[in-house]
């Protein structure tokens, strides 16, 4: 009897741990890596998440062009499937280049790159995302839908926003605002960035920065030098 009782307890414990692992894996997909890492750290996670953190980061925004018009021409289910395919590809590219998803913005993405080589990583990702969209039409009878990308680097503040019933961990600040404005201004397929990014990514092989002669987007300092990011003709 003692052995049977111990076996049942062990089986119950193992089953509970398996269920916990499954739920942890499932819920983790809804959280940004900084949040997952802090939650795994234990009870002190909440205070750490709520404490604002200053960071130097490269912020990337994407936006699918023509989304509103397209939503009028295909079914809701087809639209959701198509957008999910596009954003899924973008997310994979972001993670492959060392960034992470801060949030999905409906038909676009906000991503954060930190650490060494963040500008180079973000540039490679931005180009890949813009090119990817050209080869991935929403449906076989639709032309590819271009994606605009905005990219800026600088100081951001990371922390928790929201109310007790609904919280989100995100990056905010002027750097984020500028990147979002640049994305709005980049009529895809195009990547619009700043001299702050350009000056730190000039050593990258196979890419080029063309000066943007257009007026600065609304909400962006007119003195900020803007550049179109592209691959060189022999840059692959």
Average confidence (pLDDT) over 150-179: 92
**Could you give the CA distance from residue 217 to residue 223 in angstroms, rounded to a whole number?**
11
Query: Is 136 within a domain?
Result: yes
- Mean pLDDT throughout 121-139? 83
162 CB-near residues (< 8 Å, 6+ apart): 168
Instruction: Give the per-residue pLDDT at 10.
Output: 54
Residue 11 lies in a domain: no
Q: H-helix or E-strand containing 111?
A: strand 108-113
Looking at the structure of the chain, the number of domains it has is 1
Calculate the average pLDDT of the chain. 82
Is residue 33 a part of any domain in this protein?
no
Q: What is the pLDDT of residues 7-51, one digit of tens each?
A: 455 545 555 555 555 555 555 666 777 777 766 666 666 677 778
Say which residue, 173 or 144, is predicted with more confidence: 173
- In a domain, residue 175? The reply is yes
Establish whether the linkage from the previous residue to 189 is cis, with ω within 30° of 0: yes
Grade residue 68 by pLDDT with cuts at 50, 70 and 90: confident
pLDDT score, position 203:
86
CATH number for the domain harbouring residue 92 = 3.30.70.1230
Residue 20 domain flag: no
Cα–Cα distance, 12 to 24 (Å, whole number): 18
Helix, strand or coil, per DSSP, at residue 30? coil
218 located within any domain: yes
Answer whether residue 168 is part of any domain: yes
Can you give the residue range of the structural domain that contains 192?
50-231
pLDDT score for 156: 98
Comparison of pLDDT for 109 and 164, the residue scoring more: 109
Q: How far apart are CA 3 and CA 9, in angstroms?
A: 10
Residue 152's pLDDT is 97
pLDDT in tens, 102-122: 999 888 999 999 998 999 999
Q: Residues near 133 by Cβ (< 8 Å), separated by ≥ 6?
A: 64, 86, 144, 145, 146, 147, 188, 189
More confident residue, 78 or 119: 119
């Amino acid at each position: 009897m003692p052995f049977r009782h111990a076996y049942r307890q062990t089986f119950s414990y193992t089953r509970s741990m398996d269920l916990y692992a499954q739920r942890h894996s499932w819920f983790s997909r809804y959280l940004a890596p900084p949040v997952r890492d802090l939650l795994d750290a234990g009870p002190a996670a909440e205070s750490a998440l709520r404490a604002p953190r200053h960071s130097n980061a490269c912020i990337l925004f994407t936006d699918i062009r023509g989304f509103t018009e397209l939503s009028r021409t295909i079914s809701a289910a087809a639209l959701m499937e198509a957008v999910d395919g596009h954003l899924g590809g973008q997310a994979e590219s972001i993670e492959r280049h060392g960034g992470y998803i801060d949030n999905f913005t409906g038909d676009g993405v906000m991503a954060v790159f930190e650490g060494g080589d963040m500008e180079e990583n973000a540039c490679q990702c931005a180009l890949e995302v813009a090119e990817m969209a050209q080869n991935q039409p929403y449906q076989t009878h639709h032309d590819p839908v271009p994606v605009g990308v905005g990219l800026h680097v600088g100081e951001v503040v990371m922390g928790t926003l929201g109310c007790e019933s609904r919280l989100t961990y995100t990056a905010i600040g002027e750097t984020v605002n500028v990147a979002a404005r640049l994305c709005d201004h980049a009529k895809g397929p195009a990547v619009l960035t700043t001299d702050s990014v350009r000056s730190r990514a000039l050593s990258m092989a196979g890419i080029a920065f063309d000066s943007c002669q257009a007026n600065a987007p609304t909400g962006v300092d007119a003195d900020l030098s803007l550049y179109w990011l592209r691959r060189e003709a022999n840059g692959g």
